[in-house]
């Protein structure tokens, strides 16, 4: 398996390519990671088109959920989107925050940042900002954000505990997050785990669901809840690039599975006095 820096470079390269593709090309690929499917399979993405603030130019069909739909964003909030891509979730969040709020998107792929900034400029949004940066070391001040959202991104981060700690750092006391991500139940076949393309495709970088939730709990978050969960089925024409027919059948018949989950959690508020309880 490649080291963390190699994995980051792999993701940066893949998503730089994706930034130059259209939505239809991405939807026909393995979570946008490359043309590994011979048929049009949109195996993870939920439909954003009915959400207020949706902009088709910013939708690259790369997500695995609708975190902004569950994020309880209020007018005037400061919202941070991790792995903001072309700006899709940022623009939906901006509809909820209104003119009095602010939305910050962070992505470590320069081509995505450029595309997102162009989209924001075309839309005339002056309270949406895109910053180049690493989720493991966010370019955002401590306790400055009300809500964090992210869509199918943390599974791509090699050091997930560090990324979760960064989310905790930037959230204000009483702030919360709603994050859609890919998790596992049971073990993936080793060929999928080791495949670089499947890593960039949001699958082999995923961890066990219980481990994922425990990392969030251990970081200090409270009121942890699963807001949505759905099974993700990888089509056979993708699997056959990595597994034999017999291995595909064995995998299908196993209890192992890949799931998209949308997870909610809160950072405790400040207490006004000992024993007063938290806001």
pTM: 0.82
Predicted confidence pLDDT, tens digits, the chain (279 residues): 466 776 666 666 666 666 566 555 544 444 443 444 433 234 556 666 556 665 656 555 566 678 899 999 999 999 999 999 888 899 999 999 999 999 999 998 898 899 999 999 999 999 999 999 999 999 999 999 999 999 888 888 889 999 999 999 999 999 999 999 889 898 888 887 776 556 555 666 788 999 999 999 999 999 999 999 988 888 888 888 888 999 999 988 988 888 889 999 999 987 543 444 444
Q: How far apart are CA 218 and CA 56, in angstroms?
A: 38
Burial (0-12, 13-18, 19+ Cβ within 10 Å), 260: buried
For Cα atoms 158, 83, 70, give the angle at the middle one, nearest 5 degrees.
110
Which DSSP category does 21 fall into? Answer: S
Q: Are 224 and 213 in contact (CB under 8 A)?
A: yes
- Residue 138's nearest CA partner among 110, 169, 115, 181 is 169
What separation, in Å, do the N-terminal and C-terminal C-alpha atoms of the chain show? 45
For the chain, the domains span 4-266
Structurally, at CATH architecture level, domain 4-266 sits in 3-Layer(aba) Sandwich (3.40)
Q: How far apart are CA 55 and CA 38, in angstroms?
A: 28
């Amino acid at each position: 398996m490649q080291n963390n820096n190699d994995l980051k470079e792999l993701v940066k390269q893949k998503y730089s390519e994706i930034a130059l593709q259209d939505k239809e090309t991405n939807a026909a690929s393995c979570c946008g990671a490359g043309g590994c499917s011979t048929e049009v399979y949109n195996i993870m993405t939920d439909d954003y088109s009915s959400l207020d603030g949706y902009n088709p130019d910013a939708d690259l069909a790369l997500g695995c959920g609708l975190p902004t739909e569950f994020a309880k964003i209020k007018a005037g909030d400061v919202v941070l989107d991790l792995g903001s891509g072309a700006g899709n979730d940022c623009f939906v969040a901006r509809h909820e925050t209104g003119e009095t709020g602010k939305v910050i998107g962070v992505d470590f792929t320069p081509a995505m940042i450029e595309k997102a900034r162009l989209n924001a400029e075309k839309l005339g949004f002056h309270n949406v900002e895109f910053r180049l940066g690493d989720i493991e070391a966010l370019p955002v001040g401590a306790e400055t954000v009300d809500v964090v959202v992210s869509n199918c991104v943390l599974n791509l981060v090699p050091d997930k505990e560090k990324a979760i700690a960064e989310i905790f750092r930037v959230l204000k006391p009483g702030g919360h997050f709603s994050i859609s991500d890919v998790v596992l139940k049971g073990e993936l076949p080793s060929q999928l785990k080791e495949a670089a393309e499947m890593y960039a495709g949001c699958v082999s970088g995923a961890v066990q669901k219980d481990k994922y939730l425990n990392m969030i709990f251990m970081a200090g978050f409270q009121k942890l809840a699963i807001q949505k969960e759905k099974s993700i089925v990888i089509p056979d024409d993708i699997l056959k690039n990595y597994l034999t027919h017999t291995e595909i059948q064995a995998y299908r018949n196993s209890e192992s599975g890949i799931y998209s989950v949308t997870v909610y959690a809160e950072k405790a508020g400040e207490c006004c006095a000992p024993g007063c309880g938290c806001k």
